[in-house]
A and B are shown apart, each in its own frame.
Chain A
Amino acid sequence: MICQRGFAALGLFWALTAAGQTPAPKAPRTPNLNGIWEALGTANWDLQDHAAQAGPFWQTGAIGAEPAGLGVVVGGEIPYLPAAAAKKKENFANRAKNDPEAKCYLPGIPRATYLPYPFQIVQSPKDILMVYEFASANRLINMGKPIEAGADSWMGTSNGHWEGNTLVVDVTGLNGLSWFDRAGDFASDSLHVVERFTRVDADHITYEATIEDPKTFSKPWKISLPLYKRVEKNAQLLEFKCVPFSEELLYGQFKKQ
């Protein structure tokens, strides 16, 4: 990439020199986040540092086991209030049936970003749409005059603006029913997330999210992780409509025996 850019710059220089002109002052350019992106790593297993361990289902053996991973929480620890810390433990104990991912529920923010599925950023001249492969989730990021959240929702209300090369998205109106990961990390409906998407080179975005929820945490905290561009020539978002995969889990108890 660096090489290509070098050649392009050289070519531009040559063209301008040949024409005997100097470059016009550059208008500020809006960064381009278009593309299909995906987090690697294990943030969706557990935002914090975690050793490898068995998964909730012995039947799936090593396939369902949790890989070890370095945490993505800046500073290492999520600053839970005591009652919330207890709730997180309870979530973890019941994760096989209560994790909203297992139930194919809309993933909420920030989890949608680092689920182990790609998502596509569609940057239109006006607003920005993020389309997630998981559960056909999507969210529109309003780039105009900020709008207030209406009723709470799973994916929240997103208002975005540019700070230099960074897309900053302020997310409110989250319903507090989403989890952050398979470890049971969670927040309440007072959750406020401020995300920062910075394209650091052609194939990488640095994703940061500041998480604030005075009902759940003693202070705001932050996650930071890279997003990788899906560079396959034929890359496209496919379909992961997981409702049919969740119905036995959700409704099996009411099935006629």
Chain B
Amino acid sequence: MTPSKYFLGASIAIAMLVPVFLPAQTKSWTQPKTPWGDPDIQGVWPGTAMVGTPLERDKSLGTRAFLTEDEFAKRAERAKTQAAIDNEETVSDLTRCDPGRGGLGNTPTTCKNGISIGPPLYWDDRGKPSKQASLVMDPPDGRIPPLTPEAQKMAAERIAARRARPCAATAGGCHDTWEDESLWDRCITRGTVGSIVPNTYNQGNQILQTPGYVVLRNEMIHESRIIPVAAPNNAGRPHVPPAIRTWLGDSRGHWEGNTLVVETTNFLDKTVIGQTPASEDLKLVEKFARVSADTMNYSVTIEDPKTWTKPWTISFPLKSEPDYVLYEYACHEGNYYMYNALSGARAEEKKAARNGR
């Protein structure tokens, strides 16, 4: 199913990440090896627990990557309140809101305590409140670096072009064609970064290994990235030629000790990370470091000198959940959102024409 538009807008501000910080290696734990001698990082590693940790850090926290006990207690309390409100949906006194204050999707749903009503609890995952202040861990302030002047100009032009369209003035916004919808709404992909960064629901990831390959399966949107992994002291396979550009890029891996390092290039110039389309020069460097039986630190460093003024890194722990089953996320096959958005917009136009507007 495709998430509704307003929900997406709220949640898409999401992300990706990187480095190596969280739980220290457990002393009693030894990295297991595959029968052919590679570090064994296989298993089901959902990102569910980190859903709810913001991509970017609240500016007031500065360079503090982790919350204090007090701040953590507040985050947990807020999550609890939010869950309670969402559970009540829109029917109780608890959620009867001040219509003057706006809310998600510009509906009058902001409640007295300042928390907007979100989807009900059965609709998405909330994760566990984490002390990690943000998924962005580098730069040290946890904020995505500024866009380059060129990228800023392109972003401004995109916004201006959109605003200049007649549909921009309508209540529903622009739904002239499918190309007005996000890549996620179109069920094309959430991208290499967006497929693993915790967000919303169906956050399952699974790793399988076979000699010469590590395969990362993402539940959302049924992706399987087959990563050729170089043998020790071997340069490995070169990337495919530059003429071949793909949504998920071309990945090559190697082991640095027990850490799998994956470099991905050959992206189309349509990869959206956070809310910014990256250029063809995008390069990702991911690290998968299993630090205990049930924890793997994941990080992704995003480099694209045409788009961001410096590389930045998202990083968070993945938790092993052997009983988690990745379900088939057949998104495109049931994309009623697309029919509804486009046919609804055409119906609105007809109505407007009838009313002589």
- A interface residues with partner B (beta carbon < 8 Å): 34, 104-106, 120, 122-127, 129, 131, 135-138, 140, 150-151, 153-155, 177, 234, 236-239, 241, 243-244, 246-247, 250-251, 254-256
Map CB proximity to A onto B318-354 as digits: 1 under 8 Å, 0 otherwise: 0000000111101011000011001101100100000
Determine the residue in chain B with the shortest Cβ distance to A237.
B226
In the assembled complex, the CB of A120 is this many whole angstroms from the nearest CB of chain B, namely 6
Contact of B244 among A155, A237, A238 (CB under 8 A): A238
User: When the two chains form the complex, which single residue of A34, A136, A238 contacts B211, counting CB atoms closer than 8 Å?
Assistant: A34
Q: What's the minimum C-beta distance from B164 to chain A, rounded to whole angstroms?
A: 15
Counting from the closest, the 5 A-B pairs by CB-CB distance are A254-B342, A256-B176, A124-B208, A239-B246, A153-B328
Number of interface residues, chain B, beta carbon within 8 A: 45
Q: A122-B215, A124-B42, A129-B224 are in contact. Are A140 and B330 (CB under 8 A)?
A: no
Q: Is the CB of A131 within 8 A of B178?
A: no
CB distance from A111 to the nearest CB of B (A): 14
Q: In this complex, what residue of B is CB-closest to A177?
A: B333
- A125 B35 Cβ-Cβ under 8 A: yes
Q: How far is the CB of B234 from chain A (nearest CB, A)?
A: 15
Residues of B within 8 A of A243 (CB): 186-188, 332
* CB within 8 Å: A-B pair count: 106
- Taking a contact as CB atoms closer than 8 A, the residue among B188, B333, B349 that contacts A241 in the complex is B188
> With the chains together, A231 CA to B345 CA distance in Å?
50
User: Contact residues of B with A, CB < 8 Å?
Assistant: 34-35, 42, 167, 176-178, 186-189, 206, 208-211, 213, 215, 217, 221-224, 226, 228, 237, 240, 244, 246-248, 325-328, 330, 332-333, 338-339, 342-343, 345-346, 349
In the complex, chain B residues whose CB is within 8 Å of the CB of A241: 188-189, 246-247
List the A side residues contacting B209 at CB < 8 Å. Answer: 124-125
Q: How far is the CB of B167 from chain A (nearest CB, A)?
A: 8
Cβ–Cβ contact B247 & A154, under 8 A: no
| CB atoms of A247 and B178 under 8 A apart | yes
Given contacts A129-B208, A138-B224, contact A106 B345 (CB under 8 A): no
* A256 in contact with B345 (CB, 8 Å): yes
Is there contact, CB below 8 Å, between B210 and A34? yes
Please give, as numbers and ranges, the residues of chain B lying within 8 Å of A155 by CB-CB distance.
328
Pairs A–B under 8 Å by Cβ, sample size 22: A106-B222, A122-B208, A123-B210, A125-B35, A125-B42, A126-B208, A129-B208, A129-B215, A129-B217, A129-B224, A136-B221, A151-B327, A153-B328, A155-B328, A238-B246, A239-B248, A241-B189, A241-B247, A254-B346, A255-B342, A256-B177, A256-B349
Is the pair B206, A140 in contact by a Cβ cutoff of 8 Å? yes
Q: How far is the CB of B2 from chain A (nearest CB, A)?
A: 12
Report B122 CB to chain A, min CB distance, Å: 15
Check A238 against B240 for contact (C-beta < 8 Å). yes
Which chain A residues lie closer than 8 Å to B326 at the CB level? 140
Residues of B with C-beta under 8 A to A255: 176-178, 342
Across-interface contacts of B178 in A (CB, < 8 A) = 247, 251, 255
- Please give the distance in Å from A102's CB to the nearest CB on chain B: 13
Within 8 Å by CB of B228, from A236, A238, A254, lies: A236
Q: Give Cα distance in the complex from A241 to B343, angstroms.
A: 24
Check if A137 sits within 8 Å of B222, measured CB to CB. Answer: yes
Q: Determine whether the beta carbon of A106 is less than 8 Å from that of B215.
A: no
Chain A CB count within 10 A is highest, among B177, B333, B338, for B333
Say yes or no: B222 contacts A105, CB within 8 Å.
Answer: no
A250 CB to nearest B CB, Å: 8
What residues of A have a CB within 8 angstroms of the CB of B224 in the complex?
129, 131, 136, 138
Please indicate which of the listed interface residues B221, B223, B327, B332 has the most CB atoms of chain A within 10 Å of its own CB.
B332
Q: How far is the CB of B307 from chain A (nearest CB, A)?
A: 22
Known: A34-B210, A122-B226, A150-B325. A251 touches B339 (CB 8 A): yes
Is there contact, CB below 8 Å, between B248 and A106?
no
Residue from B42, B222, B240, B346 in contact with A126 in the complex, judged by beta carbons closer than 8 Å? B42
Give the shortest distance, in Å, between A230 (CB) and chain B (any CB). Answer: 13
Task: Say which residue of A150, A236, A244 sits within 8 Å of B226 (CB atoms).
Answer: A236
Complex Cα distance, B343 from A236, in Å, reads: 40
Known: A105-B333, A238-B244. A122 touches B210 (CB 8 A): yes
In the complex, the answer to whether B206 meets A150 with C-beta atoms within 8 Å is no
Measured CB to CB, the nearest residue on chain B to A156 is B328
Residues of B contacting A246 in the complex (Cβ-Cβ under 8 angstroms): 332
Would B247 and A239 count as touching, CB distance under 8 A?
Answer: yes
Contacts of B35 in A (CB 8 A): 125
Which residues of chain A have C-beta atoms less than 8 A from B186's C-beta?
243-244, 247
With A140-B206, A251-B178, A256-B349 known as contacts, the answer to whether A125 contacts B240 (CB < 8 A) is no
CA–CA, A127 and B333, complex, Å: 26
Contact A154 B333 (CB under 8 A): yes
